Amino acid sequence: MRKFVTTTAIAAVMVALGAGVSARAAENVEVLHWWTSGGEAAALDVLKKDLESKGITWTDMPVAGGGGTEAMTVLRARVTAGNAPTAVQMLGFDILDWAKEGALGNLDEVASKEGWDKVVPGALQQFSKYDGHWIAAPVNVHSTNWVWINKAALDKAGGKEPQNWDELIALLDNFKAQGITPVAHGGQPWQDATIFDAVVLSLGNDFYKKAFIDLDPETLGSDQMKEAFDRMTKLRSYVDDNFSGRDWNLASAMVIEDKAGLQFMGDWAKGEFLKAGKKPGTDFVCMRFPGTQGSVTFNSDQFAMFKVADDKVPAQLAMASAIESPVFQSAFNVVKGSVPARTDVPDTDFDDCGKKGIKDLAEANASGTLYGSMAHGHANPAAVKNAIYDVVTRQFNGELSSEEATKELVAAVEGAK
Same domain, 273 and 203: yes
Asked if 255 and 170 sit in the same domain, the reply is yes
Q: Tell me the mean pLDDT in the region 208-212.
A: 98
Cα separation, 227 vs 395, in Å, equals 13
Q: What is the mean pLDDT of the chain?
A: 91
Contacting residues for 73 by C-beta, under 8 A, at least 6 apart: none
Give yes or no for a contact between 325 and 13, defined as CB atoms under 8 angstroms apart: yes
Rounded-to-5 percentages of helix, strand, coil across the chain? 50, 15, 30
* Strand pairing report for 260-264 and 136-138: unpaired
Element (H, E) at 301: strand 301-305
The top-scoring range by mean pLDDT among 51-55, 187-191, 306-310 is 187-191
Q: How far apart are CA 166 and CA 154, in angstroms?
A: 16
| Residue 67 clears pLDDT 80, i.e. is over it | no
pLDDT mean over 167-193: 98
Checking phi first, is residue 291 left (phi over 0); if not, alpha (psi -120 to 50) or beta? left
Does one domain contain both 158 and 205?
A: yes
Are 84 and 156 in a shared domain? no
Please state, in angstroms and rounded to a whole number, the distance separating the CA atoms of residues 412 and 387: 6
* pLDDT at position 42: 87
Say yes or no: 105 and 152 in one domain: no
| pLDDT classification of 13: cutoffs 50, 70, 90 | very low
Is 263:136 a contact under the CB 8 Å cutoff?
Answer: no
Query: Whole-model pTM?
Result: 0.83
What element of type H or E holds 201? helix 189-202
Domain hosting residue 102, numbered range: 2-143+299-357
Whether residues 402 and 257 fall in one domain: yes
Mean pLDDT of 363-374: 90
- State the total domains in the chain: 2
Regarding whether 284 and 164 lie in a shared domain, the answer is yes
The pLDDT score that the predictor gives to residue 201 is 98
**What pLDDT digit, counting tens, does each position of 265-316 carry?**
999 999 899 999 999 999 999 999 999 999 999 999 999 999 988 988 999 9
Q: Averaged over 207-216, what is the pLDDT? A: 97
Claim to verify: residue 172 and residue 318 sit in the same structural domain: no
* Contacts within 8 Å (CB) and 24+ apart, 365-371: 365/121, 365/123, 367/294, 369/205, 369/294, 369/295, 369/296, 370/123, 370/295, 370/296, 370/298, 371/201, 371/205, 371/208, 371/209, 371/212, 371/213, 371/295, 371/296, 371/297, 371/298
CATH number at residue 19: 3.40.190.10
pLDDT over 90, % of the chain: 79
Nearest to 332 by CA among 144, 143, 140, 142: 140
In a shared domain, residues 307 and 289: no
Average pLDDT over residues 104-117: 97
Same-domain status, 120 and 227: no
In this structure, the answer to whether residues 152 and 251 fall within a common structural domain is: yes
Say which amino acid occupies 115.
G
Last residue of a domain, one of 340, 357, 374: 357
139 & 186 share domain: no
Q: How far apart are CA 283 and CA 58, in angstroms?
A: 35
Last residue of a domain, one of 320, 336, 357: 357
Q: What is the pLDDT of residue 239?
A: 98
Range 317-346 burial, b when 16+ CB lie within 10 A, else e: bbbbbbbbbbbbbbbbbbbbbbbbbbeebe
> Cα(103)–Cα(307) distance, rounded to whole angstroms?
6
| 278 φψ region: left (φ > 0), alpha (ψ -120 to 50), beta (else) | beta
Do 33 and 88 contact (CB within 8 A), yes or no?
A: yes
Q: Are 264 and 195 in contact (CB under 8 A)?
A: yes
DSSP designation for 104: B
